[in-house]
Amino acid sequence: MHLRTTPMAARRLRTTSMAMLAVWVLLAPSSADAQFDLTGKWASRSGQDAQERGPGPDPVDYMGLPLNDEGRARALSYDYSLMSLPEGQCGYHTPFYIVLGPFGLHIWNEFDPVTGRLLAWKIGGWVDRDVTTIWMDGRPHPSPNAPHTYAGFTTGRWEGDTLVTTTTHMKATTIRRNGAPVSDRATMTMYFVRHGELLTVRAVMDDPVYFSEPLVRARAWALDTRGTLNLGNGVVSPCEPIAELPRADAVGVVPHYLPGQNPFVKELAERYSLPAEAVLGGGDTLYPEFRKRLLDYKPPMACKRYCGCEGLGVPCISDGSGVPK
């Protein structure tokens, strides 16, 4: 059926129809559209893992990590001098470092210039983590044989009000800054949830090579509307490797410990009166029943280092004496 009309009425109808179309396009749901806006600067608000985020973990501190025997053996072979090798100085962390590192986040989005559809979210890099691009346009992950990078390849989708991302093609690197490993077979799923001004990111790292079960970590950020807080540069800093130690100049030397020769294996356990098996990590150490193997534990008399002094008015304990300075 067709309607006949005059030019003036036709113009009115055309205008009305265009307006309706515009309303419909603006309001219609889209699978790639955000359920909430991630863009902006987010200041770190995590009241957890202060030592790991700040000064760094102690040697052979694998507490909370689901390392299997292979992962533990690889971790114990790690020598900190590896970081002094020129080829080791500019290694970046994988995107898992988003939930490990101490910094804020800078997140922006990019749109297809033709369709106007959301192409990707981008999470700015830090000095030791590359930019994370979360592709939202439905593109597939590359072939398993494609090159791996520290940033890996990440896609995202909305599940209700949660942005769920999947990262593959990450290079083998460390999951903790004391050499605990993660392999290039690992995959990572992240869950982004927003509650008002708070952004929570949970990351599930599954590594069939070095973990006995997936590692789950989470942290939170607060929207920083002034954009003035430290974002860890918010950009990837250039890295220029140099020879730092004479030993690192020696040809063919790769710092490492042979099995059974790591000198730090008992240090942490003795410092905190813990059984050696506790500091070596493992899936069974993550659950409440592991406390039955800690019945002889008695806490040290007083905290002597990294006791929490980052705030105003709370003096630091800086010399190992246990006495605030």
Partner 1 sequence: MTPPVTRFTAPGLAAAYLCTAVALTAQAGPARGRGAPPVASARASAPSDLTGYWVAVISQDWRWRMVTPPRGDYASVPITLEAKKMGDAWDPAKDEAAGEACRAYGAPGLMALPTRLHITWQDDETLRMDADAGTQTRLFRFAAARVTRRGALSWQGESVAEWTRPRPAPGTTPKGGSLKVVTTNLRPGYLRRNGVPYGADAVLTEHWDLFTDPSGDQWIGITRIMEDPKFLREPWVTVLNFKKEHDGAKWEPTPCT
| Smallest distance, partner 1 to C-beta of residue 189, A | 5
| Smallest distance, partner 1 to C-beta of residue 76, A | 18
User: Total number of residues binding partner 1 (CB under 8 A)?
Assistant: 84
- Contact segment (CB under 8 A) with partner 1 among 63-71, 103-111, 144-152, 252-260 equals 63-71
Among 144, 160, 246, 252, binds partner 1 (CB under 8 A): 160
Q: Rounded CA gap, 193 and 35, in Å?
A: 10
- Contact 231/41 with Cβ under 8 angstroms? yes
Q: Is 41 in the site for partner 1 (CB under 8 A)?
A: no
Among 245, 314, 319, 321, binds partner 1 (CB under 8 A): 314
- Distance from first CA to last CA of the chain, Å, rounded? 89
Among 86, 241, 263, 322, binds partner 1 (CB under 8 A): 322
Question: Residues near 274 by Cβ (< 8 Å), separated by ≥ 6?
Answer: 268, 294, 297
Among 237, 297, 319, 321, binds partner 1 (CB under 8 A): 297
Q: Rounded CA gap, 100 and 8, in Å?
A: 65
For residue 168, the surrounding DSSP H or E stretch is: strand 162-168
Among 5, 115, 318, 321, binds partner 1 (CB under 8 A): 5
- Contact segment (CB under 8 A) with partner 1 among 70-78, 123-131, 229-237, 311-319 equals 311-319
Looking at the Cβ atoms of 31 and 233, the one nearer to partner 1 is 31
Cα distances (angstroms) measured from residue 83 to each of 46, 244, 323: 27, 9, 33
Q: Rounded CA gap, 135 and 145, in Å?
A: 20
Instruction: Please report, as residue ranges, which positions from 260 to 289 form the binding site for partner 1 (by CB under 8 A).
Output: 272, 274, 278, 285-289
Q: Is 146 in the site for partner 1 (CB under 8 A)?
A: no
Q: Is 131 in the site for partner 1 (CB under 8 A)?
A: no
Q: Is 81 in the site for partner 1 (CB under 8 A)?
A: no
Among 88, 91, 214, 255, binds partner 1 (CB under 8 A): 214
Instruction: Please report, as residue ranges, which positions from 166 to 205 form the binding site for partner 1 (by CB under 8 A).
Output: 166, 187, 189, 191, 193, 195, 198, 200, 202, 204
Tokens of 265: 């294996």
- Contact segment (CB under 8 A) with partner 1 among 72-80, 84-92, 249-257, 299-307 equals 299-307
- Contact segment (CB under 8 A) with partner 1 among 25-33, 118-126, 131-139, 223-231 equals 25-33
Looking at the Cβ atoms of 85 and 182, the one nearer to partner 1 is 182
Backbone angles phi, psi at 36, to 5 degrees: -150, 165
Cα distances (angstroms) measured from residue 33 to each of 30, 109, 156, 159, 269: 5, 11, 11, 12, 50
Q: Is 295 in the site for partner 1 (CB under 8 A)?
A: no
Position 325, amino acid: K
**Residue 211, strand partner residues:** 67
Q: Rounded CA gap, 253 and 102, in Å?
A: 32
Looking at the Cβ atoms of 247 and 293, the one nearer to partner 1 is 293
| Smallest distance, partner 1 to C-beta of residue 257, A | 23
For residue 118, the surrounding DSSP H or E stretch is: strand 118-123
| Smallest distance, partner 1 to C-beta of residue 238, A | 32
- From residue 232 to residue 251, what is the string marking binding to partner 1 with x (rule CB under 8 A)? --------------------
* Per-residue b or e along 85-94, where b marks 16 or more CB atoms closer than 10 Å to that residue's CB: beeebebbbb
Q: Rounded CA gap, 54 and 97, in Å?
A: 13
Tokens of 3: 């309607």
Tokens of 166: 């999947």
SS3 181: strand
